[in-house]
Chain A
């Protein structure tokens, strides 16, 4: 684990740059994280990100693309349009959450 400076403050991140502390995230930081990976945030993006944050607070795990569809109501196809190529990784990166743990 290491730290980096973003939006004028120090944050804790893992080797791939995913935030490791849930409470270090806010919406200003999300805008910067999105900018880093070339995603321009629209209200639709924010809806998905707010769902991910709330779901993580409830379950302690990052929602997979399937869960974002099944529970959040955002079809996988739409997730691919909003967060091209790698929606699972990009959504969690911007939302300041660990990568979804489906990958084991």
Chain B
């Protein structure tokens, strides 16, 4: 009996468990998944909860119901991987030996990494990257009647890098609906040189912020937060005052990754970007946000990774060379307020470009352009997440990014 151990029961770990259980012979393979939470969240909802547009309890389900039969689910906190002995120790003393290990423990916000940030957490300093933070921000926004709203990214990389931009656009729309937009100054503060990471999309998003009267403070690397004076302070000694700060704290991988000597300086796992395999330990893989690969940390990326990874894994365990290679494909809807959304589609080599998706010329979803179709697309995705994506059933989207339907601006 060979043993596959999956660490983490979020989006990537759950899809991996479902797909690999079907692909690996039950007589030959024992599959175990370690679930550190017990609850599975539909994380795109965290963006809507703060605006009172989503009932929080709808966003969570019991993780155990999403793990297929034939996979042993162990609930517990992971203490350490011993890659030489090929075993994982849990905090409660349980030891889980493996032949192959898939790390899918994601990324988490770390407000304690920025001096001053934690002290006023859920006071004037908020975020929306966890269930509790999204619910707390809903209260803060409802009580916000005017002043300086600052949306802030601490450091790249972060989970869902378009979410801060979406939050800013939705906040603008929300404040207009409440008829208090003229009482609020909105500033978007980012360590990047513009509104987004890639030039064509950055120009498009920058234009949208500009149209809405939202100021951008670029190249801002936060050194500390002066919680008493309500100011963000950068390493080059710029200051941005706020009345309500919505920040994205430093993102790090799971601490056990670092403790086990498997991580980079942010506890993400360096793996081959095309096979997701660890260089020093060929029986270890990392999928989803836990992997240090140069594409977005996002559910869509986990989905596309797991369109190609399981076949590769089956080849590897059969002693063959991996052939399919992951291309960094990501597809993200970007809510822009008032019932519209944008869509971007990109990979390691190609930045988000304008065009139509998924069918060239016909779409129906326009890329890098606001449209009601994209908003409906985002809403339509939610039931598919539970019924198709997590169980690893095929969705009508290509695993690899295609240039068909895309235009390269001159």
Neighbouring A residues of B197 by C-beta, 8 Å = 103-104
Chain B's closest residue to A76 (CB) is B235
Neighbouring B residues of A84 by C-beta, 8 Å = 236
Interface of B is mostly: loop
0 or 1 for each of B279-307: is its CB under 8 Å from A? (1 = yes) = 00000000000000011100000000000
Interface: B157 (CB within 8 A): yes
A66 and B155 contact, Cβ closer than 8 Å, known pairs A71-B265, A86-B219: yes
Is B221 within 8 A of A104, CB to CB?
A: no
Interface: A85 (CB within 8 A): yes
Set A59, A85, A89: member contacting B236, Cβ < 8 A: A85
Interface: B266 (CB within 8 A): yes
0 or 1 for each of A61-98: is its CB under 8 Å from B? (1 = yes) = 10011110011000011011000111001000000000
Could you say which of B192, B235, B264, B295 has the most chain A C-beta atoms within 10 Å of its C-beta? B235
Interface: B156 (CB within 8 A): yes
Interface: A101 (CB within 8 A): yes
Neighbouring B residues of A103 by C-beta, 8 Å = 156, 192, 197
Interface: B223 (CB within 8 A): yes
Set B156, B235, B266, B296: member contacting A80, Cβ < 8 A: B235
Interface: A43 (CB within 8 A): no
Chain A's closest residue to B155 (CB) is A66
CA gap between A61 and B294 in the complex, in Å = 10
CA gap between A67 and B265 in the complex, in Å = 6
The contact sample of 17 A-B pairs, CB cut-off 8 A, is A61-B294, A64-B156, A66-B155, A66-B265, A67-B264, A71-B265, A76-B235, A77-B223, A77-B235, A80-B236, A86-B193, A89-B193, A102-B156, A103-B156, A103-B197, A104-B161, A104-B197
Neighbouring B residues of A64 by C-beta, 8 Å = 156, 265
Chain B's closest residue to A59 (CB) is B270
